[in-house]
Structure 1
Amino acid sequence: MTPETFLLGGDRPVRRLGFGTAQLTGPGYWGPRGERSDALAVLRRAVERGVTLIDTADNYGPGLAEELVAEALHPYPADLVIATKGGVVRTGDSAWHIAGRPERLRAMCEASLRRLRVETIDLYQLHRLDPDVPMAEQLGALAELRREGKIRHIGLDSVTPEQLTRALPLAPIASVQNRFNLLDRGSEAVLDLCQRRGIAFLPWFPLANGALTGDAADALDEIARHHRASRSQIALAWLLHRSPVLCPTPGTGSVGHLDENLDAAHVALSDAESKVLDALQPA
């Protein structure tokens, strides 16, 4: 593997800078966003630019993001890894309901298989742990789907270090997806655990949901000018420099913004610049 790639689950090499599909849907990840043809163009451009990790979820739309991925890219390139998520039910643009019963997880996984038009999902992530269902039952359902060949690898979303530690003996965990970015490092302990265990860490809101482009520190601007780059590119470059297991998947509905994000892979921060960024604190 090179510094630009990560071996997901020990057998699936992916480029660490991927693409997330949430921004292809409307406000609150509900319904469509703009023209369908624009969303398809972004997905196709991502693969043209060498993206090999696409992160989606059954509740983006709901169902819409997975359908767009299949419409744009199926049949998939052999090196493309599709990651999706289940375990949350949507009933409106601001209504999210955790659903971790084994029978619900199975039904969600099988629905994702149909929408994505695949027999096996490369990476199936539990979108949230259900506090009303024993962890062993939730992960047991995913492990059973894995034994049946419907899931290749299992991931977790929004977990604490303690939850991840408890999960590891129950099922092979290939990825964690927690909120993490230049100005929000609340999951630093989870990241450190992932690095020790060789688990991919897919940071969500890698650009602080736009905050980095609004009120970034002077230091961020200075480094961006030095590299003739944007603030967003520096923020993504910092993630790639921060840990070899970090695999950010920034999303956008714009081809131009997609190209800008992917160009961050070519920004080589010095150790001194990374230390300056390490020292930044939320405004």
Structure 2
Amino acid sequence: MSDFPMTWQLGDRSVNRVGYGAMQLAGPGVFGPPRDRDQAIAVLREAVASGVNHIDTCDYYGPHVVNQIIREALYPYPGDLMLVTKVGAKRDEAGAWLPAFTPDEIEAAVHDNLRNLGLEVIHAVNLRVMGDGGHGLSEGTIAPQFERLARLREQGLIRHLGISNATATQIEEARGIAPVVCVQNHYNLAHRDDDAVIDSLAEARIAYVPFFPLGGFSPLQSGTLDTVAQQLGATPMQVALAWLLQRSPNILLIPGTSSLGHLRENLAVRELVLPDDAVATLNGIAG
């Protein structure tokens, strides 16, 4: 078992740091129904049975499909399960990702999530900032949108708030409006622009949830990761996830898959401890 803390406070609940991201339960391109709905349901049920109590989702996965599958698989939800969704985008008929970022669109998306998940209150909602090209960062105020979420929180429709794909300035702006319990940004071994953000959030006891754990690696960086993984008898994904767990105790993982085999591999990182020399080698990937 890892010597590192394996739980972290997410709002009013302690969650296991290895959670599950539901994005891959939709069809190709995160659009339309899955190829195998029964398999998707089986993955969700095994994840929860294996100790996952933090599931990341949103209503524009599909759209609507993934939340409906979560409800079919897990409702009535276990008392310790924290469902975290995000708002701020939508899909068109061709599956393109488009901003849906007006305060009224934000509020409508919250109601879509409530309806499709079968909830009266959502445990946490992230405001997803659509930056340059959708995934890139862009500065600009998020106050009108976050203030609307804060109002919905005061009305009792949302328990906690977070922000995703945000700059340090936007994170601080959000925290000035209402309590922030989680930040979900692009971060991994090769993409470490948020190092200072992670450390400051850890001091504030705020969770950090990285997405794209293998996104943006160069062939050379991937080769180094592959070598370390071979030496440890693990997969590259397992090593990348284990490195994140050891990077900071406030990092919560949400690896996603539609495969039971891959789910089990991802959950096995709870037992994988990287030795100091491996961590040093991996730390050198960035740069």
TM-score (norm 2): 0.90
Q: Distance in 1 between matches of 2:36 and 2:62?
A: 14
Question: Which residue in the other structure is 2:56 paired with?
Answer: 55
In the alignment, residue 82 of structure 2 is paired with which amino acid? V
SS at match of 2:200: helix
Question: Which residue in the other structure is 2:103 paired with?
Answer: 102
Question: Which residue in the other structure is 2:135 paired with?
Answer: none
> What does residue range 106-117 of structure 1 map to in structure 2 within 5 Å?
106-117=107-118
Question: Which residue in the other structure is 1:216 paired with?
Answer: 222
Identity of aligned residues (%): 41
Give yes or no for the alignment of 1:7 onto 2:12.
no
TM-score (norm 1): 0.91
Q: Distance in 2 between matches of 1:235 and 1:36?
A: 29
Question: Which residue in the other structure is 1:69 paired with?
Answer: 70
Return 91-100 or 103-112, whichever deviates more: 91-100
Question: Which residue in the other structure is 1:170 paired with?
Answer: 177
Question: Which residue in the other structure is 2:166 paired with?
Answer: 159
Return 130-139 or 142-151, whichever deviates more: 130-139
CA contact (8 A) 1:19 1:249 kept: yes
In the alignment, residue 240 of structure 2 is paired with which amino acid? A
Give yes or no for the alignment of 1:180 onto 2:187.
yes
Give the superposition deviation at 1:271. 2.9
SS at match of 1:269: coil
SS at match of 1:54: strand
CA contact (8 A) 1:17 1:248 kept: yes
Give yes or no for the alignment of 1:230 onto 2:240.
no
SS at match of 2:222: coil
Question: Which residue in the other structure is 2:88 paired with?
Answer: 87
CA contact (8 A) 1:217 1:280 kept: no
Match among 255, 277, 286 for residue 281 of structure 1: 286
Q: Structure 2 regions of 5+ residues with no counterpart?
A: 132-137
1:121-169 CA distances to partner (integer Å, 9 max, x unpaired)? 1111112268899522211111111111111110101011111122211
1:102-129 CA distances to partner (integer Å, 9 max, x unpaired)? 2221111011111111111111111226
Could you say if the C-alpha distance between residues 116 and 274 of structure 1 is closer, same or farther in structure 2, counting changes exceeding 3 Å?
A: same
1:151-189 CA distances to partner (integer Å, 9 max, x unpaired)? 111010101111112221111111111111122223223
SS at match of 1:28: helix
